[in-house]
Amino acid sequence: MSAATIDGKAFAAGLRAEVARRVALLKERHGLVPGLAVILVGDDPASQVYVRNKGIQTREAGMRSDEIRLPATTGEAELLAHLHRLNADPAIHGILVQLPLPAHIEERAVIATIDPDKDVDGFHPVNVGRLSLGQPGFVPGTPKGCMKLLAATLGDLSGREALVIGRSNIVGKPMAQLLLAANCTVTIAHSRSRDLPALCRRAEILVAAVGRPEMVRGDWIRPGASVIDVGVNRIAAGGGKTRLVGDVAFAEAREVAAAITPVPGGVGPMTIACLLENTLEAACRKAGLPLPE
Ligand code: NDP
């Protein structure tokens, strides 16, 4: 059996088009333009690419995009002052601080300063609490995107046995919360878990968010499982070149699974698309409007 490839790239393009359509309606009916501000501190090359792509896709969706680039020497107080200004700016509905931050800035203080109602990354403790309580809030883009791919692949997830490998605050934990909210039976594995292959073999839904290239082997996968590979790992590809692989050995896993996301082109593109959707929702909530149909 060869698994169906879950085409996250196409799915994300569809979601971005849907967001753009609603943004246009919001503008036309209410004169409201959602605004997203992204702050980048320092010059980490991967973060620069990511922030540039966010800006491009935000503008393509018809939204306002503010990019604030600050030097690596920026002090915490100065960064917090930018956040206070953006919190008070009525034209800005979503605020995102690109992580990681330079070591001299405390990430926790920065995230806690963002207005929870503008926290479109869903990292503020208030939004983390809302997710765990089942209240409306903002869900981080990567796990939100994974859930959309699973829903499109499987429909109702109720009662399914799900395993999330990884317990980070940005992927593993919110992913587990979302699967629980969708009535899955959820197991969270991490670096101290015993017999990971046996845990994997039980999972009808397997989400790998570890950061270890091709760690999950084909014979760990339950036949017919749906596999969501969040990992992004750059490995040597010979001739001085590199290539991206996930946390799952794709060629092996696709012989056993029913559906699997590729890397690249699976989960990755969903993150920004969901961030845009969160920004649209933030603008509508602030204005007390439903999402335009
Ligand atoms: P973290 O490093 O924060 O977390 C990794 C998790 O994997 C930890 O919980 C860790 O366990 C667990 N882990 C490490 N080694 C093992 C092991 N041998 N067996 C079982 N569990 C293990 O990573 P992130 O959650 O931030 O990211 C995970 C991956 O997803 C990365 O490759 C990252 O690049 C990718 N990513 C992709 C995104 C996208 O596509 N848009 C967005 C975000 C991340 P412990 O807690 O015990 O240390």
Do residues 96 and 192 both lie within one domain? no
Q: How many domains does the chain have?
A: 2
Amino acid at 246: G
Query: What tens digit of pLDDT does each residue of 64-81 get?
Result: 999 999 999 999 999 999
* Residue type, position 83, single letter: L
* Domain identity same for 103 and 155: no
CA–CA dist 173, 135 (Å, integer): 16
Q: What is the largest CA-CA distance in the chain?
A: 57
> Does residue 1 register a pLDDT over 90?
no
pLDDT band at 120, cuts 50/70/90?
very high
CATH number of the domain to which 194 belongs? 3.40.50.720
Please check whether residue 264 lies inside any domain of the structure.
Answer: yes
> Do residue 94 and residue 173 come from a single domain?
no
Task: Supply 95's token pair.
Answer: 């605020």
Q: pLDDT digits over 136-187, tens only?
A: 999 999 999 999 999 999 999 999 999 999 999 999 999 999 999 999 999 9
Question: For residues 100 and 70, is the Cβ–Cβ distance under 8 A?
Answer: no
Measured by CA distance, the residue closest to atom 18 of ligand 1 is: 191
Q: Ligand 1: does its nearest atom lie under 6 Å from the Cβ of 110?
A: no
C-beta 279 within 6 A of ligand 1: no
Confirm or reject: Cβ of 244 under 6 Å from ligand 1.
no
Residue 179 near residue 157 (C-beta atoms within 8 A): yes
Per-residue tokens: 229:
């590979």
Residue 241 confidence (pLDDT) above 80: yes
Q: Which domain holds residue 253?
A: 141-268
Name which residue sits closest to atom 5 of ligand 1, judged by CA.
210
pLDDT at res. 264? 97
Q: Are residues 147 and 104 in the same domain?
A: no
* Other CB atoms within 10 A of residue 13 CB: 13
Q: What percent of the chain has pLDDT over 70?
A: 100
Length of the chain: 293
**Ligand 1 centroid, distance to 7 Cα (angstroms):** 22
Catalytic annotation, residues: 54, 98, 121
